[in-house]
Structure 1
Amino acid sequence: MTVPTETSTESAVLDWFERALEQPGEQRKTWLAAQDLPDALRLRVQRLLDTECSLGGFLEHSASAPEPEGFPAIGEHVGNYQLLARLDAGGMGVVYRARRADGSYDQDVAVKLIRPLHLMAAPEFRRQMLARFEQERILLARLQHPNIARILDGGRTASGLPWLAMEFVDGISLTGHCDRDALDLRARLRLFLKVCAGVQEAHRHLVVHRDLKPDNILVTRDGEPKLLDFGIARTLGEDANGDPGATQLTAMTPAYASPEHVRRQPLTTASDVYSLGVLLFQLVAGERPYRLDGLTPAEAERAICDGEPPSLRSVLQRAGDADPSRGERASQLTDDLQHVVAKAMHKDAARRYATAQSLAADIERWLQGKPVLAHPDSAGYRLRKFVGRHPLGVAAGTLALAAVLAASGIAMWQAQQARQGAADLREMNDFLLEVTQASDPFDADRELTLSEALDVAATRIDERFGSRPELAAEIRFGIAYSMLSRYRLDAAEAQLGKALAESRAAFGDDDIRSLRIGDAIAYLRQEQDRGKEAEAGFREVIARLERNRLTDDPLYGIVLGNLGNLYLVREDYRQADPWLRKSMTWFDAHPGAAEKDRVNILSNLAHAAHGLEDLPRADTLYASAQAAMAVAYPQGSPDQAILLNNRALLAEDRGDTQAALALHRQSLAMRRKVFSSEHPMTLTALTNVARVSLDVGEARQALPIAEDAGAMADRVYAEVPNGRHASTWATVADVRLANGDTTGAAAALRRADTVRDTVKDPAPSMLAYLEKVRARVCTTPAACPAR
């Protein structure tokens, strides 16, 4: 049985107290009595409500009511500001209009202080409130955006109470502004785009608002929305156990809260995207999707998590006769816009828009009369969910399927006639369903993985799309990338070569689709240990993008980073760093574009700083990248595994081998989850675990790991020479020697030397590692293998 801690109890008290304050004053006691709460918790909340009442209705009535000792009154100074009037109050704070009073300049601001009631609460409760208030001040200081109310100043009063001064927003709520000015549908959507821009800026700084609602978005007289009240916001990637006051408070507004928020599950930016979806529903329909008034918490949770909201069209049609403005919006509504709202509000966080910027981009497409990317759930989605229950060995194939589906959308965009585009899409989707069904054991003699099914599909492209090179190129590229991810290099080369020829024939040498394939071929050359060809390939793609003024396409930022990564692999950190910086500059100038690629560039920048021996900067960049990856890859990914590996190498350089071993083991576990057992990514992690296990004195445990790595390296690199193959056998030699097997160590070192001789451009670190192991093995001439 789990015993509630004092912290969790105080958090629950605050949560329910804030919910009670949202009820009309005369109904709070009745509402609280109707909730399904433990008696002790209900009593604590009721006492807070009674105390609030005893203060003379301070928050609902005048500012002249009794106040706690040391709490500033109207007319008094807080810092350099004089309090003029109370503006608003919430569960945590009270906000005053104030004016700069030191003669420097004339400026009205909003000054926020902790509610007087909380200052008289139990010590732990009071500590949480102070910590939460401080958290809001820290988060706001990070955010500078025209659609976020800026923090201007902060400090403590003479009695030690924290305060912060914010930009004074003279406006009304988002929905109130739309209704007062009778905005039509398109005007409401253009206003909503600015809200998305503010939310995206917060997410870019890894800040999740967690309480987006109309009252927290005020629209100024000149029509600019401003996000307010980051009181329950939190930073992604921070240690939730480190500061309960800042991260464990669970206050929310249920009507706008995501299913995972209602269930008290960990939150990501997807939760804010859901809240944006609810806001969008309300702006279009004129009411919220769920009616929660009078429901118990359990009933409200079921409604939000399991219930289906009415369609926008049905709500607008129902209210159209009584409200002409809604009838007008109903006439402008299309199925595409309904799909956009449904995608933003999807129960499954993974099915929502990846970012607020992605949601805004689809609305922009709708406003411009272009097809949107949101689509309703389909048989294909259900099939992919089935495949998701069999993850081993199919992760790379699933990524390829997503790439091919995206290619379907690209085909639609490029179609000159809507009818032809629809026919193309149906033809490609039929092919994709055939691919998926090939993994069904009822249609085959055994259950194929999706990766195997894609390999089969590659043999059918010529037959199915022989006369349609524009479609063949797109599908072939997705399947080839799957092969490349699975280290099927020869097969990938065959498909990419055909895809490039088909794309150039259909679209031309300088079309973005042809250049994307060129980038993939350059990466293939890198994996084939053909570094000079890879470098030339990346540089050619960059030059064509620049020459054709395509530098706003995400491919440009990606290929800059790919060239930088090539130099990283060569351990040429001085060349890698400027290319990676240039890539990061591009992503910073294009927020929301290919966010996962941006995170990977950040990780590679950390690796470059490490190589340049700027260890403090490397550590800072690694920490930022790891926090960002927690957002981009909540279930883990190969890129996260690489980051863990690189942080482990940094820990080694700092002499913390125990921490390094723990990180290498985490990286290995993540790679085994994503890749097959016979993949270079798995092999690299396996070798590192063996090597560092030896460093911490676990020679016996390292032996079977090293032997497995050596055998795997011979299989993985059977066709393509690679320096990692030689490093693996050097590790085997080192581990055998530590276990007393000098003969076996010499044999392993000979194997490492043989492999090294086949590598065209061996990395300096690999050569240095071989020599370090050789020095340990060659303690006597007899033990040293001949060179």
Structure 2
Amino acid sequence: MITPVDDGEDAQATIGLAAGATTAGDAAVMAGARIGPYRLLSLLGRGGMGEVHVARQDEPVRRTVALKLLRARHLDTRRLVHFEIERQLLAQMRHPAIAQIFDAGTTADGRPYSAMELIDGLPVTAYCAGERLPLRERLKLFMRICEGVQHAHQKGVVHRDLKPGNILVAKIDGRALPKIIDFGIASITSGGSSDGGSGDALGTPVYMSPEQAASADDIDTRSDIYSLGVLLHELLCGHRPAAGGAHAFRPSARLAELPRAGQARIADAMGMGVADLRRVLERDLDWVVARATAPDRAQRYGSAMELVDDIGRFLDGRPLGAVPDSRRYRWGKFVRRNRGGLAVAAVVLLALLGGLAVSLYGLGQARSQQALAEERARQLETVSRFQRAMLGEIDIESMGLRLATSLRAQVERAAPGEKDALERVLAQVGTVDVARELVGGSILGRAEDAIGQDFADQPLLAADLRESVAEVRKSLGLYTSAAAGFGEVADLRARLLGPRAEPTLRARREQISQLLNGGRDQLREARAVIEGAGQEFAALAEDDPLRIGFEMHRVVSSTADDQHARRDGLHALLQQARRLLGERHPVALEIANYYAIALSRVGERTEAKALFEQLLPVHVEEFGELHPLTYSVRRNVAVARVQAGDFDGAVAMQGELVAGDVQQRGLEHPSTLASRGTLAAMLTDAGRAGEAVALALAVLDGNVRVLGPDHPQTLRSRVNAATIMARLQRYDEALAMQDEVIEARTRVFGPIHPDTLFMRINLPATLHQAGRTDEALASMATVLPTVRETLGDAHPTTQMAMDIRAMIARESGDLALEIRTLRELLAWRLAAPGQGDLKTAETAWLLAGALREAGQAAAEADALWETHVQPLLDAPVESLSPGHRRLADAIRREQAA
């Protein structure tokens, strides 16, 4: 639920603000009103700038949002600047700990609004109190908040109003997930303040840094560090620092000022005694709060990740950077971290004390050196983790988009006559791939060079750092270079640790995985690596996940040209993995995904759909709703539903995916546009072309502006729009769009490219629907031989061309052409995808009907019916896929007529 809290805030409107901030009468005035595509349901809160409403969006996706609307009487420049800054900043940021913006617009009377993620949660302090969160869990939650703040800082954004009311926490899948909201007074670090030049100190005084209180123009990211320190103080002792108190920023002192009953209540909520809590605060966490809230910002943590690192050190029992260094402090940490080992060491020491003084001295020296080495390794690991997180968040598609936009702007200025030539080049080259290669060569390549130079004397550490770089290459889709990186790591570890050591084999398996991701070009190398490493993996225990994962790669690599063999091999391996590891083990789930895809490729689409549907809730439970693996399974489920004829189910799933893409990437990110285009196509297949047309045209317009008119994704969206226009009988518009696509694809890809041929065989269908049947048949007669010669008879596009020709012949009364076409097509489909496929059954039924209507080959028609049609009609309804059920219903309707 969304609950009010008094956290000392001023009149800022936030998603977490109480409905009690206004009157019931005010809420009733707006209830039911429409703002753009949103219907207002209730007033969530009102502040100095505007109101926040709970609103409902019904299309193109159904969801409930928080709609923030600027008040009409506050449409002055300053507030408009704040409001627009918040919209732009949120659109740039994508982090699980930051509330996402979905949409933005302006009402008819000129009031700007933004639709945001509705957080069904509590202010962080209220959540911790209500859940009686233990100290360690509070600190872990605080670290996730800091990571969100760090993401904003990496984007150049200072929030300037971090406080409990602007950090809401919801429990999802049993895990506390924080969301930072209300960037309404945020500033761009390089662009000065966002107060419209007033110089007022916007924010909440008790959480505000001294420099922010003194001047809104003189702040940087360390102002947010101060606010985080105040928040940490509140999480540790249940109260904000006492204003003007002698120990304002020492949680232990603030706790001591409370009545005994209050101290006991706070400590008990964290699962501790009062004395234990005060001791922990005094020894470590007081220092963290004091450093974060130092009046002189130069003495604070330099970044949110430095604060996270110190909290992590506390949780790991290691010395903190904020605590003054001393031998006693470090020794105390060492003792508490190694109690068991020291107890054993004490016994050994007593036994050997008499004669091993020299040896013990040497051991002490060695331990000192080891401690220094361990400390440096931990520091390097922290740096590596931070760099990996930063590089992993690089949005290659957005980078490529900015590159294309920059090139267009430069050509527009320098040589406007070359605009069309540039678009043709961009369509063929792909700026996303250029950006990916630049990142891989310039940034990651230099990182690897530095590792080789700086850590030549620490080869194992160098291997770990190289593995981090390979992981980043993998996340960016640089599969070939990622495979090379993992291969180098595996070779190095094989020499140092042995070829059968677990770290060696883990890197080797990643090398194989990335080679397989690289497609057929890397298949030969993948097979060679698999053959060379076979003995090492075979030496592992039968139930070792690395061995089973390796066997999966062996099956996949050896069956690239035989999908049936791949299906059988993966099925056997899946049974083994589930027996030895359990159904929910990550390796078993990975094999199950591969197996479901193999089922789909051999035409067993009902079985594939059932398996994907089974895997989805497991992935949600194991990895969470937003995990990339979960998203991948969702996309597979949507596609499987379409293939099985379950169009309504596919639309529902794709709608969820679109909502997630908008939340994660924004409305007009290339990936989001592709996802929205898929939704429009699914709506059309589901018979809902009227709903699909507005979405399809919006996607087309977005692709033209974002990617350019000749980009392959733009052309695909134009094809989808043309298909919908034809369904709505707007044939002139549909034909004009199809001609544009054929011209562009011929110019960019060539006349026999599969994408060009696909469009050319769609054109006759539209011509026929427009009443131009003679032109349609002439066009098909021209293109069909080229399609067959180029793609082959088994290709889906070739078979679709035959479907279209048979349809035109049937509707124009040319039974001889229809029968000839269907006979040939049925022979192809019996070969692949096979007798049980939906398309095969449909083709047999149409051919039997055409033969009977022509009054010829009755025996052939009867045989087709008995072999392909009657089994479909006799099958139990519950055993049929949605597509097979619809076909059976159509056959029965025809019989009844």
Report the structure number with the largest CA radius of gyration: 2
TM norm structure 2: 0.43
